[in-house]
Amino acid sequence: MMTGQQYIDSLRKLNTVIYAFGEKIENFVDHPLFKPHINAAALTYEMAHDPSYEDLVTATSHLTGKKINRFTHIHHSTEDLVKKVKMLRAIAQRTGSCFQRCVGFDGLNALYTTTFEIDQKYGTNYHERVKDYVKYLQETDKMVAGSMTDPKGDRGLTPSKQADPDMFVRVVAKNEKGIVIRGAKAHQTGIINSHEMMVMPTVALGEEDKDYAVACALPVDAAGVIHIFGRQTNDSRKFDQMDQGNACYGAVGGEALTVLEDVFVPWERVFMCGEFDFAGLLVERFACYHRQNYGGCKGGVSDIVIGAAAAMAEMNGVAKASHIRDKLVEMIHLTETIYCGSIACSSQGRPTPSGAYFVDPLLANVTKLNVTRNIYEICRLSHDIAGGLLATLPSEQDLNHPEIGKYVEKYSKGVTSVPAIERIRMTRLLENMTGGTALVESMHGAGSPQAQRVMILRQGNLPHKMKLAKRLASLNKAGEEQN
């Protein structure tokens, strides 16, 4: 298993093509735009070597029997699923931000279970390829980005009906050595500082879309791969120190648009190629694994938001006010509610035909739908408690200015016992964690609320619920109450 520093050093060996703010980035490892995201991911490596977190952040490989980082593990029990959630909350409590390895982790497990069933139907050998790839990741401890979301173009049209066929990633050529893919993947969390990317379809497909039924893995610096870094709220503050709030770890996962311009993938790294009837199953399993996470990681982030809001209340001199205490109670209640959902869907997980475990899909979707609401309310309450300074605090440059800095410091003070600089830093942290990009990620990460609603209706078993009601209402054919 790599340490955090070994992970950072390994990134320097890559030749990743990255553009940001109209410029090609030569040294992304030390660049202020990317360093916080790299630090957050590095902590997932470092904590695996910390004895106090070892039980959560490491596991034993079912393939080799070796000790591995849990982010390269295949779940084989409900205990594995629960430990995953607990691990995510523990890491989020340390970073206060997205640490990015979850997407690839979930994609790996979704592919592991789905390829077993593809092979059962078609006699292919995709599952053995996935197992070999899992062993490769476990041995090298490389970080893999889960690449599912396509640009999609016209959402009312299927992939094969798009005016521009590149709106979804597709296979454009095959030969005895492998395949060539073309298209793009959008909103790619952590891909800038990953070693590998795992391409998967993003929607259920029909036979006319079989060229789009492709799943494969490739290096992020493979020929033809171009990463265009996405803008984030207040991202120019990364060139400052205090104003960015969470200077070490940032706010979100460093998303990018990744272009695949006729990229070659060898057959040993191809895990689906034309099996369109399994695209929907793969998407569903990935989505449920990923929605499972949110009570863990967002629970950990919310723990810090609650702490920051409570600290601001003390700094403002209102910590003992009953309405402040009531709002903090509500924030804690909302946080533990989403965490309960993650633990529940994990505890109710069941084995798939491959032997690997899958979460309860209904509870996983309920968890994520709760996150799209609860996180906004937690952030709203934190803004209520913190006050207007959150939106109007002068800049770090003004604070350090030789003439006006003294005024910024003087009038940013709250209670006498707390230095103004501490109140300023806490304000920036809370602003960073509760505004802009971080909130949008809570809404649309792992799919929009409507995606969860569709799954909840599908998994909710309405016929069974109606049967229960009809039994109590004595609506059976005989007109008598049923047992």
Active site residue 441: yes
In the chain, residues under CATH classification 2.40.110.10 are 4-276
The predicted-structure confidence for 286-325, as pLDDT tens digits, reads as follows 999 999 999 999 999 999 999 999 999 999 999 999 999 9
The predicted-structure confidence for 135-188, as pLDDT tens digits, reads as follows 999 999 999 999 999 999 999 999 999 999 999 999 999 999 999 999 999 999
- % of residues, the chain, pLDDT over 70: 99
CB atoms within 10 A of CB 200: 26
Give 479's pLDDT tier (boundaries 50, 70, 90).
very low
Q: Which of 216, 297, 345, 379 is an active site residue?
A: 297
Is residue 215 over pLDDT 90? yes
Q: Which of 112, 249, 294, 357 is an active site residue?
A: 294
Active site residue 290: yes
Give 477's pLDDT tier (boundaries 50, 70, 90).
low
Give the domain 290-469 fold. Answer: Butyryl-CoA Dehydrogenase, subunit A; domain 3 (1.20.140)
Give 240's pLDDT tier (boundaries 50, 70, 90).
confident
CB atoms within 10 A of CB 102: 28
Q: Which of 46, 196, 255, 409 is an active site residue?
A: 255
Retrieve residue 172's tokens: 């454009």
Active site residue 464: no
Give the pTM: 0.94
Q: Which CATH number fits domain 4-276: 2.40.110.10, 3.40.50.720, 3.50.50.60, 3.40.50.11540?
A: 2.40.110.10
Q: Which of 73, 227, 290, 383 is an active site residue?
A: 290
Question: 351 with 110: CB under 8 angstroms?
Answer: no
In the chain, residues under CATH classification 1.20.140.10 are 290-469
Is residue 403 over pLDDT 60? yes
Active site residue 176: no
Active site residue 372: no
18-20 and 225-229: which strand pairing?
parallel
Q: Which of 58, 72, 189, 367 is an active site residue?
A: 189
Residues sharing a CB contact under 8 Å with residue 423, sequence separation 6 or more, in sequence order: 312, 315, 389, 412, 413, 414
SS (H, E, C) the chain: CCCHHHHHHHHCCCCCCEEECCEECCCCCCCCCCHHHHHHHHHHHHHHHCCCCHHHHEEECCCCCCEEEHHHCCCCCHHHHHHHHHHHHHHHHHHCCCCCCHHHHHHHHHHHHHHHHHHHHHCCCHHHHHHHHHHHHHHHCCCEEEECCCCCCCCCCCHHHCCCHHHCCEEEEECCCEEEEEEEECCCCCHHHCCEEEECCCCCCCHHHHHHCEEEEEECCCCCEEEEECCCCCHHHHHCCCCCCCCCCCCCCCCEEEEEEEEEEEHHHEEEECCHHHHHHHHHHHHHHHHHCHHHHHHHHHHHHHHHHHHHHHHHCCCCCHHHHHHHHHHHHHHHHHHHHHHHHHHCCEECCCCCEECCHHHHHHHHHHHHHHHHHHHHHHHHHHCCHHHHCCCHHHHCCCCCHHHHHHHCCCCCCCCHHHHHHHHHHHHHHHCCHHHHHHHHCCCCHHHHHHHHHHHCCHHHHHHHHHHHCCCCCCCCCCC
Q: Which of 16, 73, 98, 133 is an active site residue?
A: 98
How much is the mean pLDDT over the chain? 95
Active site residue 216: no
Give 51's pLDDT tier (boundaries 50, 70, 90).
very high
Retrieve residue 392's tokens: 């109007």
Active site residue 58: no
The predicted-structure confidence for 8-29, as pLDDT tens digits, reads as follows 999 999 999 999 999 999 999 9
Active site residue 396: no
Q: Which of 102, 216, 345, 379 is an active site residue?
A: 102
